[in-house]
Amino acid sequence: MATPATAGYVLGYSVSEYERLMLQARILRPYTERMFRAAGLCPGMRVLDLGAGMGDVSMLAGDIVGPGGRVLGIERDTGALDRARQRAVNHGCSSWVTFTNATFDEFRSEEQFDALVGRYVLLYQPDAAATIRTMLQYVKPGGIIVFHEIDFPDPAPSYPPCPIYDQASALIGEAFRASGAPTNSGRRLGKIFVDAGLAFPAIVSEATVGGGPGSYLYPWVANTLLSVLPRLATLGISVPPDLAIDETLAARMEEEVVRSGSQIVAVTQYGAWARKP
């Protein structure tokens, strides 16, 4: 989870959103881990994680750097932070994975870190490059900067077309745009890094594709839409009359996709990394 921009974190801070974040983290861990390792994270490093949320990225970094390293996660939401601390205890890494309650502007430290990391955080910042520039003061020269961001799918993310899945995906994208969060933050990473004073980064991308029985995309998309549902009206977004957004949405989505033999596409994962001069 990311520290929200001034426009507000459109997904909210409910218990169901915290559960959705943990599901999302299980889905995204392989992508993020490949990016972090390709960027150069390794045992013994000191890592600063922006927008730690429920602690999943911090704990992933903690697994990479090991007990000889250190990870500090910054998070402004105290509800998520309490859960992150307890999860680190349960995971057995709380002696080297810790968290602090602060916004990025409020954060202060005398410590110099070997890496600055974040997942799904830059899209919520009013000026992503300025955020990186601010946090670079805590990274030693030659340190790694690596971020995992996303692009939303096109307006027809299923084939053969599945109206429930397509409408749900479109509503999520509309909600993000209306709240001020770009839906193409992945494609902006190169310019963000350069505007932050870094070299043009190495960039990778991977499509997130599903279909068939039991795909993780059904609950992920459905639960994301349930999280944004309370904000749709205030954002001026209308729900299609034939789309019922309730706890049965994931099951109905799966039934339609399986019946149609469809392939579905979710957000595209982007990773970018460079080193501080």
Q: Which amino acid is at 254?
A: E
186 by DSSP, 3-state: which?
Answer: helix
272 beta partners: 147, 203
Would you tell me how many other CB atoms lie within 10 Å of the CB of residue 200? 12
Note the pTM of the prediction, 2 decimals: 0.92
Q: Which domains does the chain have, with CATH numbers?
A: 15-275 (3.40.50.150)
Question: Tell me, what's the pLDDT at 4?
Answer: 37
Give the mean pLDDT per block of 10 residues along the chain (277 residues): 44 72 92 98 98 96 98 94 95 98 95 98 95 98 98 93 96 93 95 98 96 96 92 92 94 97 97 98
What is the 3-state secondary structure of 77-141? Answer: CHHHHHHHHHHHHHHCCCCCEEEEECCCCCCCCCCCEEEEEEECCHHHCCCHHHHHHHHHHHEEE
- The string of pLDDT tens digits covering residues 11-68 is 556 677 888 888 899 999 999 999 999 999 999 999 999 999 999 999 999 999 999 9
